[in-house]
């Protein structure tokens, strides 16, 4: 190797140093990981050589996070192995991974906020139990100088910016001997200047002979930064190349071919249902600014974008779970801006979040009991015989596989979703759905949509968030694209296609 | 909180607890079987002993019934001790202040006790729902405040005529004694037992047959879903605290008007904590509260005989109760683990 190391401004022992002349490489070989029926990693194989800045690209749920968690010891793979510098690694815990030379930077840097910079740095270092702060202080100074970072060791971690916390993590991991550094969506929540700084750092780390894996769904960043790229879709490697590669090819590989379905059947639209007038929403790092949106009776609006780009924030605000900092929110002309969640329910707004068992159904409670809970009835005693009878009818009507006494957790995902549909009251003006068909088989998904679309004729307006381009194109009249916590674009479905959406979701206009 | 479980692990656990008790007795140098027999004889050996056991059973039933409600709402209501104490204080105030026929004083004392306990529980409830103070800390803090208050009353404003003493206030006049009924040569605490059993019955109906109970269970199992379904979760949590506190307060009334006939610093009798053990052992179900509570008070009442006859510390009864609960919990966890392992492999951590 030699060349990379001598050219490096940081010459350090164990710093990507392989003893032999052969170039160090990380070989990922045939990794499988299943979660129940979901094949998160379905035989992933690729190789990254030392000194390269390698992009791992894929949409949400493609399996890239699972793979990185396997590499960093959080999950154990069902089968397959990781080989670093010719040595097969045993990765049973994060401690194993770091001992083997693999360091992971999480989306939210794992620093302990009430600790000082120095204590964070010294934390997790191997050695005897008494903490040798003076040595750690010297090491921190030496390491940060080599890396070009500046820390005040006595500052509390909570007073650092996200970017500085990342730098602290990098310093710590390299000090612990990391030869492979994994960055999982590292640009989330950091400023533009910090992003530039981070990219400079990443380039320098790669130059010194480290293997840097840059995991992202942002096309632009991968194009700007990486020397090579692996695209993962549905748990499989679908594309590998040296950069540069044309963007449209990457989009196609990431999302697969999406066909614009001609059998879309829009319903006739009525008057306005939801009106957002210059609404401002703030939640975490998401800030939706001055948003204007109107939906009509019978209209379906799809919210596209990678998870956490602001779709959920908008849905929560429409449901009355998040107060806008300014602007007005009207449903059927009634101002609901500062109305509570229950006020929204009374106004005919119904929200179905993605977590069916977390934010919808109650474990340990039966189908009958759920239907009683959601029923508009205030009698003190419950007539369980009548309730079971009513439940049996709903079970028939929605073809739920279960009995009135089946507890929610015993139902499959599709049947849980059907139960949730049965719990929606008849009179609904605005239906807010988050990933309504996630995890469902094709038949269940089609059924769910059939039931939802029926409601359009009653003048119900539907807003749904989805990661599935096909679903968005097939059912929406209009599509709002979110990127990085803001509304990026608004398209009529008839005037766009899967390719353009792919670009927009990745934060790029079509060229 | 598991609702249903097979009886086998529980029986094994009970046997194991009994075994542990025998080992403990041997270590203390006591004849184990004689000691265990003394527990039975001490609690059920004569009419007056049975009466004493029933009198101890009643407040435990009341406290446990209240705990079934708060557990259903997913709350760790550690503050029952304090709620019993405040109920007892309120009942004592009635007993000391209002003259009148016995039935009027007793009814007023029961209502006052219920009210006092309810207020004390609602304090913990408001701290939780609007103050963000976990109910365990709020309840524990209020337990100490109540314990301090009762000592202050006993040594201060309500001190015994003559000299203030921690042995309690003056004995109430007889109109403030809860009436008993004589049969088989002893007095039977019919009213407390009826209060206890009726409270268990009401709680059972409430949780099983009413919309309120169903909503409470939903709030307890998954507050997020319950809120999204449209249930005003805070109101239901406070409702659970209010019911639990009122029942605990009535237990306090029973303690002062039927048992001690005066207010003493240790008025709660430990029933608040013992009730938690009873309800854990009953798998949070009201149906199992009466037999388990009876079993527990029998151990408590019977263990006084160990002291008298064998010179053993009567604390052995408490040790045995705790051991039983521990073993049953371990048994429950073990069988839950086995069934979850056999159902599927571990998923995402």
Q: What pLDDT shows up at residue A258?
A: 57
Domain end (from A235, A255, A275): A255
Dihedrals φ, ψ of B269, to 5°?
65, 10
Domain end (from A205, A235, A255): A255
The verdict on residue A75 lying in a domain is yes
Residues A432 and A511 in one domain: yes
The minimal CB distance from A342 to the residues B209, B222, B232 is found for: B232
- Among B1-15, B72-86, B153-167, B267-281, the minimum mean pLDDT is found in B1-15
* pLDDT at position A13 over 60: no
Question: Is A380 in Cβ contact with B211 (below 8 Å)?
Answer: yes
Residues within 8 A of B (CB atoms), A 17-36 only: 35-36
- Among A2-6, A61-65, B228-232, B313-317, the minimum mean pLDDT is found in A2-6
Residues A236 and A343 in one domain: no
Most confident of A37-41, B13-17, B224-228: B224-228
The verdict on residue A356 lying in a domain is no
Q: What pLDDT shows up at residue A2?
A: 37
Report d(CA B267, CA B214) in Å as an integer.
34
Residues A339 and A418 in one domain: no
* pLDDT at position A21 over 70: no
Q: What pLDDT shows up at residue B6?
A: 57
Which pTM does this prediction carry?
A: 0.76
Please indicate if any CB of chain B lies within 8 Å of the CB of A104. no
Which residues of A fall within a CB distance of 8 Å from B227? 341
The verdict on residue A106 lying in a domain is yes
* pLDDT at position A242 over 70: yes
Q: What pLDDT shows up at residue B47?
A: 92
List, for residues A92-148, the tens digit of each pLDDT value. 888 889 889 999 988 777 788 888 998 888 887 766 666 778 888 888 999 888 888
- Rounded to the nearest angstrom, the minimum Cα separation between A367 and chain B is 12
List, for residues A322-349, the tens digit of each pLDDT value. 999 999 999 999 999 989 999 999 999 9
List, for residues A218-233, the tens digit of each pLDDT value. 788 888 899 999 999 8
Taking every pair of Cα atoms in chain B, the longest distance, rounded to a whole number of angstroms, is 71
Report d(CA A308, CA A36) in Å as an integer.
25
Residues A102 and A195 in one domain: yes
Residues A377 and A453 in one domain: no
The verdict on residue A358 lying in a domain is no
The verdict on residue A353 lying in a domain is no
Who wins on pLDDT, B199 or A110?
Answer: B199
Q: What integer is the mean pLDDT of A242-246?
A: 88
Which residues of A fall within a CB distance of 8 Å from B226? 362, 373
* pLDDT at position B134 over 70: yes
State the total domains in chain A.
3
Residues A459 and A384 in one domain: no
Write down the ipTM of this complex: 0.83
- Rounded to the nearest angstrom, the minimum Cα separation between A359 and chain B is 4
Q: What integer is the mean pLDDT of B142-151?
A: 96
The verdict on residue A35 lying in a domain is yes
Question: Is B212 in Cβ contact with A380 (below 8 Å)?
Answer: yes
Q: What pLDDT shows up at residue A22?
A: 62
- Rounded to the nearest angstrom, the minimum Cα separation between A481 and chain B is 26
- Among A15-19, A418-422, B153-157, B283-287, the minimum mean pLDDT is found in A15-19
Q: What integer is the mean pLDDT of B151-171?
A: 88
Residues within 8 A of A (CB atoms), B 215-244 only: 215, 217-218, 221-222, 224-232
Which residues of A fall within a CB distance of 8 Å from B346? none
Q: With pLDDT > 90 as the criterion, what percentage of chain B qualifies?
A: 61
List, for residues A43-65, the tens digit of each pLDDT value. 999 999 888 899 998 876 788 88
Q: What pLDDT shows up at residue A255?
A: 78
Please indicate if any CB of chain B lies within 8 Å of the CB of A342. yes
Closest residue in A to B3 (Cα) is A364
Q: What integer is the mean pLDDT of A450-479?
A: 90
Which residues of B fall within a CB distance of 8 Å from A36? 344, 347
Residues A174 and A273 in one domain: no
Residues A58 and A139 in one domain: yes
Please indicate if any CB of chain A lies within 8 Å of the CB of B339. no
Reported as type and span, the H/E element at residue A421 is helix A413-423
Question: Is B225 in Cβ contact with A360 (below 8 Å)?
Answer: yes
Sign of the torsion formed by the C-alpha atoms of B82, B84, B88 and B90: positive
Q: What pLDDT shows up at residue B349?
A: 32
The minimal CB distance from B226 to the residues A362, A380, A382 is found for: A362
Most confident of A32-46, A109-123, A425-439: A425-439
* pLDDT at position A262 over 60: no
Domain end (from A200, A226, A255): A255
Q: What integer is the mean pLDDT of B23-39?
A: 87
Position A288 confidence tier, pLDDT thresholds 50, 70, 90: confident
Which residues of A fall within a CB distance of 8 Å from B212? 380
Q: What integer is the mean pLDDT of A490-511?
A: 84
Residues A234 and A289 in one domain: no
Position A16 confidence tier, pLDDT thresholds 50, 70, 90: very low
List, for residues A348-401, the tens digit of each pLDDT value. 999 999 888 889 999 989 999 999 999 877 788 999 999 999 999 999 988 888
**What domains can you pick out in chain B, each with its CATH number?**
46-331 (1.10.3470)
Residues A317 and A237 in one domain: no
The verdict on residue A357 lying in a domain is no
Q: What CATH number did the domain enclosing A305 receive?
A: 3.40.50.300
Position A37 confidence tier, pLDDT thresholds 50, 70, 90: low
Which residues of A fall within a CB distance of 8 Å from B74? none
Which residues of A fall within a CB distance of 8 Å from B285? none
Full domain range(s) for residue A377 = 363-424
Position A214 confidence tier, pLDDT thresholds 50, 70, 90: very high
The minimal CB distance from B225 to the residues A75, A361, A378 is found for: A361
Question: Mean pLDDT across chain A, nearest whole number?
Answer: 85
Q: With pLDDT > 70 as the criterion, what percentage of chain B qualifies?
A: 95
Which residues of A fall within a CB distance of 8 Å from B210? 380-382
Residues A495 and A372 in one domain: no
Q: What integer is the mean pLDDT of A432-439?
A: 88
Q: How far is CA A231 from CA A78, A454, A487, B311, in A?
A: 21, 38, 26, 78
Q: What pLDDT shows up at residue B310?
A: 81
Q: How far is CA B23 from CA B20, B26, B329, in A?
A: 5, 5, 20
The verdict on residue A355 lying in a domain is no
Please indicate if any CB of chain A lies within 8 Å of the CB of B204. no
Residues A165 and A247 in one domain: yes
Who wins on pLDDT, B328 or A337?
Answer: A337
Q: What pLDDT shows up at residue A58?
A: 85
Position A263 confidence tier, pLDDT thresholds 50, 70, 90: low
Position B343 confidence tier, pLDDT thresholds 50, 70, 90: very low
Q: With pLDDT > 70 as the criterion, what percentage of chain A qualifies?
A: 91
């Amino acid at each position: 190797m030699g060349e990379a190391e001598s050219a490096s401004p940081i010459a350090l022992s164990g710093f990507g140093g392989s003893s032999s002349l052969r170039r160090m490489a990380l070989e990922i070989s045939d990794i499988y990981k299943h979660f129940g029926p979901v094949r998160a990693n379905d035989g992933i194989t690729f190789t990254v050589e030392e000194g390269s800045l390698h992009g791992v690209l894929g949409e949400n749920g493609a399996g890239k996070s699972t793979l990185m968690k396997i590499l960093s010891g959080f999950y154990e793979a069902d089968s397959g192995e990781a080989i670093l510098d010719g040595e097969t690694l045993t990765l049973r815990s994060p401690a194993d991974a770091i001992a083997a030379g693999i360091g992971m930077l999480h989306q939210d840097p794992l620093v302990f906020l009430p600790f000082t910079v120095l204590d964070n740095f010294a934390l997790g270092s191997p050695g005897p139990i008494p903490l040798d702060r003076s040595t750690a202080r010297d090491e921190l100074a030496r390491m940060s100088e080599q890396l070009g970072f500046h820390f005040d060791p006595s500052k509390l971690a909570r007073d650092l910016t996200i970017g500085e916390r990342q730098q602290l993590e990098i310093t710590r991991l390299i000090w612990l001997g990391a030869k492979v550094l994994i960055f999982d969506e590292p640009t989330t929540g950091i400023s533009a200047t910090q992003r530039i700084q981070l990219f400079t750092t990443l380039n320098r780390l790669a130059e010194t002979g480290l293997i840097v894996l840059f995991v992202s769904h942002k096309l632009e960043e991968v194009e700007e930064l990486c020397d090579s790229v692996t695209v993962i879709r549905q748990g499989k490697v679908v594309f590998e190349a040296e950069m540069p590669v044309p963007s449209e090819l990457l989009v196609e590989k990431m999302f697969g071919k999406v066909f614009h379905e001609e059998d879309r059947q829009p319903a006739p639209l009525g008057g306005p249902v939801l009106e957002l007038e210059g609404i401002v929403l703030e939640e975490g790092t998401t800030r939706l600014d001055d948003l204007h949106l109107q939906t009509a009776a019978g209209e379906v609006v799809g919210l596209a974008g990678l998870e956490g780009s602001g779709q959920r924030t908008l849905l929560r605000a429409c449901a009355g779970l998040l107060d806008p900092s300014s602007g007005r929110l009207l449903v059927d002309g009634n101002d609901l801006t500062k109305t509570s969640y229950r006020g929204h329910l009374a106004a005919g707004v119904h929200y179905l979040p993605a977590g069916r068992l977390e934010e919808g159904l109650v474990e340990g409670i039966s189908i009958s009991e759920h239907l009683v809970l959601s029923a508009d009835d205030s009698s003190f005693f419950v007539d369980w015989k009548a309730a079971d009878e009513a439940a049996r009818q709903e079970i028939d009507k929605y073809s739920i596989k279960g009995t009135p006494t089946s507890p929610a957790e015993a139902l499959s995902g599709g049947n849980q979703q059907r139960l949730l549909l049965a719990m929606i009251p008849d009179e609904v003006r605005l239906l807010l759905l988050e990933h309504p068909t996630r995890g469902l088989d094709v038949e269940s998904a089609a059924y769910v949509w059939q039931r939802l679309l029926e409601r359009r004729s009653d003048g119900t307006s539907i807003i749904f968030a989805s990661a599935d381009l096909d679903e968005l194109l097939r059912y929406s009249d209009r599509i709002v694209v979110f990127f990085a916590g803001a509304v990026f674009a608004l398209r009529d479905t008839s005037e766009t296609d899967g390719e353009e959406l792919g670009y927009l979701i990745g934060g790029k206009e079509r060229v | 909180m598991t609702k249903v479980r097979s009886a086998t692990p529980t029986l094994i656990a009970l046997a194991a607890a009994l075994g542990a008790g025998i080992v403990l007795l041997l270590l203390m140098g006591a004849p184990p079987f004689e000691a265990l027999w003394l527990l039975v004889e001490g609690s059920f050996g004569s009419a007056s002993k049975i009466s004493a056991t029933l009198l101890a059973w009643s407040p435990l039933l009341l406290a446990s019934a209240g705990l079934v409600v708060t557990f259903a709402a997913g709350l760790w209501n550690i503050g029952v001790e304090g709620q019993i104490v405040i109920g007892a204080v309120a009942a004592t105030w009635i007993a000391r202040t209002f003259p009148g026929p016995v039935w009027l004083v007793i009814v007023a004392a029961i209502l006052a006790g219920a009210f006092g306990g309810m207020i004390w529980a609602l304090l913990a409830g408001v701290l939780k729902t609007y103050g963000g103070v976990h109910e365990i800390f709020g309840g524990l803090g209020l337990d100490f405040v109540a314990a301090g208050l009762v000592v202050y009353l006993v040594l201060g404003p309500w001190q015994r005529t003559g000299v203030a003493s921690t042995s309690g206030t003056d004995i109430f006049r007889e109109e403030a004694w809860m009436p008993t009924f004589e049969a088989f040569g002893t007095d039977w605490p019919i009213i407390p037992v009826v209060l206890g059993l009726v409270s268990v019955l009401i709680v059972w109906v409430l949780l099983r047959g009413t919309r309120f109970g169903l909503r409470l269970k939903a709030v307890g199992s998954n507050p997020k879903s319950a809120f999204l379904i449209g249930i005003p979760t805070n109101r239901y949590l406070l409702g659970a605290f209010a019911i639990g506190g009122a029942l605990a307060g009535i237990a306090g009334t029973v303690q002062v008007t039927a048992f001690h006939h005066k207010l003493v610093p240790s008025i709660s009798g430990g029933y608040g904590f013992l009730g938690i053990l009873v309800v854990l052992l009953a798998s949070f179900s009201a149906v199992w509260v009466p037999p388990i509570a009876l079993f527990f008070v029998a151990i408590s009442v019977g263990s006084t005989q160990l002291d008298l006859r064998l010179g053993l510390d009567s604390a052995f009864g408490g040790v045995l109760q705790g051991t039983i609960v521990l073993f049953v919990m371990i048994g429950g966890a073990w069988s839950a683990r086995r069934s979850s392992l056999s159902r599927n492999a571990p998923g995402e951590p």
